[in-house]
Amino acid sequence: MSLFDSAPLASLDDTKRPLAERMRPQRLEDYAGQTHILGPGKPLRVQIERDELQSLILWGPPGVGKTSIAKLIAGMTRCEFVPFSAVLSGIKEIKAVMLDAERIRRTGKRTVLFVDEIHRFNKAQQDAFLPYVERGDVILIGATTENPSFEVVSALLSRAKVYALKALTQEEIIGLLERALPVLNVQASHDILSQIAVHSNGDARSAYNILELASGVAKDGALDIESVESVLGRKMLLYDKSGEEHFNLISALHKSIRSSDVDAALYWLARMLAAGEDRMYVARRLVRMAIEDIGMADPRAMEQAMAAQQVVHFLGTPEGDQALGQVAIYLAIAPKSDAAYKALNQAVAVAETEVAEPVPMQLRNASTKAMKQWGYGEGYQHAHEFEGGVNQMECLPEHLRGRTFYQPTDRGVEQRISQRLEELRARHKTR
């Protein structure tokens, strides 16, 4: 019996199918996300519309629409669609499918072979696809959550175009959930859908599952917080990443660190993480705190914050959360100083409001003979030729001479910086 034989199945109640399957898009216009490859004029969309498809690998996190893309491609290009699981199949099944695909090709019809989790096939199994892909018996569409460069054999990789898919945004997930509400015959507020979107972490299938399960326990067709919490098995923190509570929590974290309150800093950080806040946003704000509130009192604070950002990027969640907690502790206990922050702000204010005098001649570079004749570089003192590497040359414009912007505190490393700065300024005063 051919694998392409499709004997009519007994009619199934559509409401018994999983919501994610019922909501699978039937048109490109209904597909959410991946506009970088499926938007108007983008490469994959153009190939589909022109029916000039080649074998491809769809690489992305779970629930972003890899299977949906494959089914849309098969439907729009009028190809036979054969789903194939790398978890359940081996070389014997591959060869059986390929023989049928070859027979179908002789009738003038092409076959889209969709291989889910292609990274689970070993080298020999992946190599079994090669002759059929090369002859054009099948259009291979592989889906993987792993980096194809490491998990797909090079021979197969060279014959397929790799498209990287992105996790869906919160707004894209909300849009999908709003379209699913009439299907489930329930109502839900935007805030509730936002929380489901946050907890799904860019995975549409996960979001659909939460919504479907919560709708089953909803009262009178109205989805509430209790319904969703019963599905998640934990308290749901109402938190809009673009709303007031978002700014309230980051403000609380910032002010706790500025106040050197370690425990409060950890609590507000935990609140943000539990609510699904973007980890890279938290990392960026911690870097800013290191610059704004600690500065030169502990110059390593910025290094620690940047290291945490790299850890979050490298490890993701939940492992990267520990790095955020560690740097929050470091910043909270570090000596505080906003002297460098205020110094730059004062210098910027002067630059923007006062007369912009020409650069003094001694600081200009005489890159031509004529410029040297005009006095460029005249009076320049090379610091390394002076005792202690400190010259007595004036570097500020004339009307700003004697102006100081940076006033270090006596806290942390700035205590030593202050002593050094006093020495430097004293030597400069002898000019």
* CATH number assigned to the domain comprising residue 377: 1.10.3710
**83 phi, psi to nearest 5 deg:** -80, 140
- Which CATH number does the domain housing residue 51 bear? 3.40.50.300
| Domain shared by 159 and 223, yes or no | no
Q: Is 6 inside a domain boundary? A: no
Q: Is 338 inside a domain boundary? A: no
End-to-end C-alpha distance for the chain, whole angstroms = 98
| Domain shared by 158 and 179, yes or no | no
Residue type at position 232: L
Task: Count Cβ neighbours within 10 Å for each residue of 333-371 and write b for 16 or more, e otherwise.
Answer: ebbbbbbbbebeeeeeeeeeeeeeeeebeebbebeeeee
Q: What's the number of domains the chain is made of?
A: 4
Q: Distance between CA 356 and CA 346 in Å, rounded?
A: 15
Q: Is 219 inside a domain boundary? A: yes
Q: Distance between CA 280 and CA 217 in Å, rounded?
A: 35
Q: Distance between CA 336 and CA 259 in Å, rounded?
A: 9
Q: Distance between CA 107 and CA 132 in Å, rounded?
A: 16
**Boundary of a domain, candidates 206, 232, 258:** 232
| Domain shared by 83 and 132, yes or no | yes
Tokens at 192, concatenated: 């509730």
Cβ atoms 59, 165 nearer than 8 A? yes
| Domain shared by 422 and 285, yes or no | no
The predicted pLDDT at position 177 comes to: 93
Q: Is 392 inside a domain boundary? A: yes
| Domain shared by 317 and 379, yes or no | no
Place of tokens 């729009």: 76
| Domain shared by 156 and 40, yes or no | yes
CA dihedral 324, 330, 331, 336 (to 10 degrees): 180
Q: Distance between CA 126 and CA 117 in Å, rounded?
A: 12
| Domain shared by 41 and 151, yes or no | yes
Residue 294 DSSP code: I
Place of tokens 């003979």: 369
Q: Is 148 inside a domain boundary? A: yes
Cβ atoms 186, 215 nearer than 8 A? yes
| Domain shared by 312 and 388, yes or no | no
DSSP string, 62-80: TTSSHHHHHHHHHHHTT-E
Q: Distance between CA 8 and CA 400 in Å, rounded?
A: 88
Residue 81 DSSP code: E
pLDDT in tens, the chain (431 residues): 344 444 444 445 566 788 888 888 888 888 888 888 888 888 888 888 887 788 889 998 888 999 898 888 877 877 778 777 766 666 777 777 777 777 777 777 778 888 888 888 888 888 888 887 887 778 889 898 888 888 888 888 888 889 999 888 888 999 999 999 998 888 988 888 888 887 787 889 989 998 988 888 877 778 877 778 777 766 555 555 555 667 888 999 999 999 999 999 999 999 888 877 888 999 999 999 999 999 999 999 999 999 999 999 888 878 899 999 999 999 999 999 999 999 999 999 998 888 888 899 988 998 898 988 899 999 898 989 888 888 888 888 888 888 889 889 899 988 898 888 888 888 776 65
| Domain shared by 34 and 127, yes or no | yes
Residue 164's H or E segment, with its range, is: strand 161-164
The predicted pLDDT at position 390 comes to: 83
Q: Is 182 inside a domain boundary? A: yes
Tokens at 365, concatenated: 């570079």
Strands (E), 172-266: none
- Characterise 108 by phi-psi region: left (phi > 0), alpha (psi -120 to 50), beta (else): left
Residue closest to 73 by CA, chosen among 91, 98, 48, 90? 48
The three-point CA angle 394-395-401 to 5° equals 70
What is this structure's pTM?
Answer: 0.55
SS3 392: coil
- Characterise 68 by phi-psi region: left (phi > 0), alpha (psi -120 to 50), beta (else): alpha
Q: Distance between CA 420 and CA 354 in Å, rounded?
A: 29
Cβ atoms 66, 99 nearer than 8 A? no
Q: Is 352 inside a domain boundary? A: no
Q: Return the half-sphere exposure (C-beta side, CA atoms, 13 A cut-off) of residue 289.
A: 30
Which domain does 82 fall in, by range?
Answer: 14-164
| Domain shared by 175 and 160, yes or no | no
Strand partners, 58: 143, 163
| Domain shared by 194 and 321, yes or no | no
| Domain shared by 262 and 366, yes or no | no
**CB neighbours (10 Å) of residue 102?**
14
